């Protein structure tokens, strides 16, 4: 196997073309993933009972916690390093696989304790079964990292689309035969297996025998910072489920889980895949600060333009959207959904901060910020818990507003992108989305009574209001112009 590091890099001179095509390919794949996610939420919510989702939501934090240590940040280390060799990647592959085997064993051993904690025996069985997903993920992590590093975004997009469709199909087919929480597990296994097989096939890289390589220590140290952030961030993302499930029961947790999945999870599914494009691209621009800054400030506001008006509509019309999408039996999720929606107005702004931390090699600072997020989120959950799932959602949203300015002051103290740059670029869309919520609330009496018509008209009004407000400011006009150019380019390519 060759030791030439260039086999792991994109072709010279292809960066701009790769980023442009990658954004389009990732956007297309994400459209498929989001469609599958929404279809899963809607269809599975009608096939399964709230208790089934509550059981999965109880097991998910355990799987998420154990999974923090599976990757050890080594996939990001592979993507971020300027030059990397086969020997180094081979070391990381075997580390990932060995850790996955160890964690799978620990998950099986911990299953009875989890069942006792929740006083729900079936949760323990599900936790033990989830060990299979850990093994599958560990076998394919470095292959996916290499595809990302090479900026083979077309292949990544095709694989992501196939995996999403297959997972949805398996879940629905299982639920039609056996309407239980095992339908959701089966879909997850199908996605893990197809993703790993696809990564091996498309990456064209095969590991050799386990052997340590010079330079691997630096990659492991970088990954440790990423793992530290993920460890802290786990509590911010999952302790709410644990606390609600432990003290309020699986039915209320099911309502909270559906509200979360319907809003915040799709938002993460927009920003997280886009990081596959931006992190490797920005990593290769670090020697050109002006180009780096321009690339980030070109993409981040477009992300806000695409997502925030939709979130604003969802917040304003939550009592229409939730029963329409999930069924009347989920109407109790509407207020929870609405509260989480305010956090959703800031997540498309804040999540891409990770692109800056990682691409600039600031994994230790990324970890420290994760600790701040975890501590403030846990405090918010504790404050809101006496008021039930709705109280947790309100407190979490409030903590997101308090953290946002601190995050960008921290990120902007180093590197090409400053806090002022973000404030100017984001202001037209963040403020415009909040104004759209207020105006839609005022327009509620004049919207059609039919839910679908009300949602369609509300969406059109929300995007129109945000765009109109953005046009009042030069950064907003620049982003809108850039969006139109990208749209025309996409239409030209499609034609």
| Under 8 Å between Cβ of 330 and 255 | yes
Match 């993409």 to its residue by tokens.
299
Domain boundaries in the chain? 5-494
The reported pLDDT for the residue numbered 435 is 97
Give residue 21's pLDDT.
62
Contact between 196 and 132 (Cβ < 8 Å): no
Residue 260 in this model has a pLDDT that exceeds 80: yes
Can you give the pLDDT at residue 176? 93
What pLDDT is recorded for position 236?
77
Residue 22, pLDDT score: 62
pLDDT in tens, 309-359: 999 999 999 999 998 888 888 888 899 999 999 999 999 999 999 999 988
Alpha helices, DSSP H, located in 249-362: 250-283, 289-316, 318-326, 334-344, 347-350, 353-359
- The dihedrals phi and psi of 434, each to the nearest 5 degrees, come to -65, -40
User: Which of 123-132, 283-292, 380-389 has the least mean pLDDT?
Assistant: 283-292
The whole-number pLDDT of residue 15 equals: 55
Among 17-26, 144-153, 232-241, 433-442, the range scoring the smallest mean pLDDT is: 17-26
At residue 7, the pLDDT reads 53
Give the model's pLDDT for residue 1: 40
CB 170 within 8 A of CB 114: no
Q: How many helices (H) and strands (E) does the chain have?
A: 20, 0
Say whether pLDDT at 2 is over 80. Answer: no
What pLDDT was estimated at residue 313? 96
More confident residue, 247 or 395: 395
Looking up tokens 């199908």 gives 190
Q: What is the arithmetic mean of pLDDT over 152-178?
A: 90
Structure tokens at 96: 């990932």
Mean pLDDT of the chain: 86
Report how far residue 466's alpha carbon sits from residue 168's, in angstroms, rounded to the nearest whole number: 33
- 46 vs 356: CA distance, rounded Å: 40
Say how many C-beta atoms besides its own lie within 10 A of residue 200's C-beta: 16
In terms of pTM, does the model score above 0.85?
no
How many other CB atoms are there within 10 angstroms of residue 449's CB atom? 7
At residue 475, the pLDDT reads 93
pLDDT per position as a tens digit, 358-368: 888 888 899 99
Quickly list DSSP for 401-412: HHHHHHHHHHHT
Q: For 381-418, how does the pLDDT look when each residue is reduced to its tens digit (9 = 90+)?
A: 999 999 988 999 999 999 999 999 999 999 999 999 99
Which of residues 15 and 453 earns the better pLDDT score? 453
């Amino acid at each position: 196997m060759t030791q030439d590091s260039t086999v792991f890099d994109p072709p010279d001179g292809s960066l701009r073309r790769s980023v442009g095509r990658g954004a389009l390919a990732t956007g297309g794949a994400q459209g498929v993933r989001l469609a599958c996610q929404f279809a899963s939420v809607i269809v599975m919510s009608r096939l399964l009972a709230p208790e089934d989702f509550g059981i999965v939501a109880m097991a998910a934090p355990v799987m998420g916690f154990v999974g923090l240590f599976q990757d050890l940040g080594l996939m990001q280390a592979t993507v971020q390093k300027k030059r990397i060799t086969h020997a180094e990647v081979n070391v990381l592959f075997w580390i990932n696989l060995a850790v996955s085997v160890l964690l799978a064993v620990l998950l099986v051993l911990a299953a009875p304790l989890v069942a006792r904690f929740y006083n729900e025996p079936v949760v323990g069985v599900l936790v033990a079964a989830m060990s299979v997903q850990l093994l599958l993920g560990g076998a394919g992590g470095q292959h996916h990292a290499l595809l990302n590093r090479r900026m083979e975004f077309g292949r990544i997009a095709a694989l992501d689309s196939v995996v999403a469709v297959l997972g949805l199909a398996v879940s629905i087919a299982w639920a039609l035969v056996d309407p239980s929480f095992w339908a959701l597990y089966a879909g997850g296994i199908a996605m893990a297996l197809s993703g790993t097989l696809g990564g091996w096939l498309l990456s064209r890289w095969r590991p050799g025998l386990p052997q340590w390589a010079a330079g691997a220590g630096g990659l492991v140290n970088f990954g440790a910072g990423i793992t530290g952030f993920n460890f802290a961030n786990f509590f911010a993302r999952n302790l709410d489920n644990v606390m609600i499930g432990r003290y309020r029961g699986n039915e209320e947790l099911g309502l909270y889980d559906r509200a979360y999945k319907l809003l915040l999870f799709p938002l993460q599914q927009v920003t997280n895949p886009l990081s596959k494009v931006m992190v490797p691209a920005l990593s290769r621009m670090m020697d050109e600060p002006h180009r780096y800054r321009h690339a980030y400030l070109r993409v981040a506001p477009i992300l806000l333009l695409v997502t925030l008006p939709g979130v604003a509509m969802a917040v304003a019309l939550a009592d229409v959207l939730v029963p329409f999408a999930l069924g009347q039996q989920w109407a109790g999720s509407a207020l929870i959904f609405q509260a989480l929606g305010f956090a959703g107005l800031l997540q498309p702004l804040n999540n891409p901060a990770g692109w800056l931390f990682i691409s600039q090699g600031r994994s230790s600072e990324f970890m420290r910020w994760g600790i701040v997020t975890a501590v403030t989120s846990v405090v918010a959950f504790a404050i809101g818990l006496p008021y039930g799932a709705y109280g947790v959602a309100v407190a979490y949203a409030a903590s997101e507003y308090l953290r946002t300015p601190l995050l960008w002051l921290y990120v902007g103290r180093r590197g090409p992108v400053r806090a002022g740059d973000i404030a100017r670029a984001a202001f037209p869309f963040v403020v415009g989305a909040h104004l759209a919520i207020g105006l839609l609330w005022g327009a509620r009496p004049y919207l059609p009574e039919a839910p679908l018509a009300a949602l369609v008209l509300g969406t059109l009004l929300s995007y129109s209001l945000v765009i109109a407000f953005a046009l009042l400011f030069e950064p907003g006009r620049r982003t809108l112009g850039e969006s139109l150019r990208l749209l025309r380019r996409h239409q030209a390519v499609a034609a």
